[in-house]
Amino acid sequence: MLNWKEVRRLATEGNHPPPRTVRKTEAEWRELLTPEELHVTRMHGTERAFSSEMCAVFEPGRYACKCCDTPLFDAATKFDSGTGWPSFGEPLTPEVVAYVMDRSYGMERVETLCNVCEAHLGHVFPDGPKPTGLRYCINAVSLRKMT
């Protein structure tokens, strides 16, 4: 199980090898994604807080990367953080999420990426519930709810 110390180590020393790799050209991503999905996932943008009804969805299931369909999170670890973005306590498996230190905007955060296609997902913070203590704050447009 990941914890904050391990997340920071991965962000600074290197991530787990991905289970597979998906790479596309910018033109290919533009054909597959909406402008907002492209902005968030490929240009490291952020959707507006509380802009998705996904924050209030807590049915069983899994959430996959919008860009490459890699399963990333299980609904069993999803919780209402009150932040306006879907929040999870841990990824489905350690190797599906990559971590990068983000020192933009005068702060230090840990960015989360899909480890398969390098899509920007959001950030992870050390203020989540037990057992991990982690809060994966994820842009809803970077996810697809699997049935």
**If 0-12 CB within 10 Å is exposed, 13-18 middle and 19+ buried, where does residue 59 land?**
exposed
Can 114 be counted among the known catalytic residues? no
Comparing CA positions, the residue from 91, 42, 98 lying closest to residue 66 is 42
Q: Contact, 145 vs 61, CB < 8 A?
A: yes
Question: 55, 65, 114, 137: which one is catalytic?
Answer: 137
Cis peptide before 131 (omega within 30 of 0): yes
Instruction: Show which residues are catalytic.
Output: 137
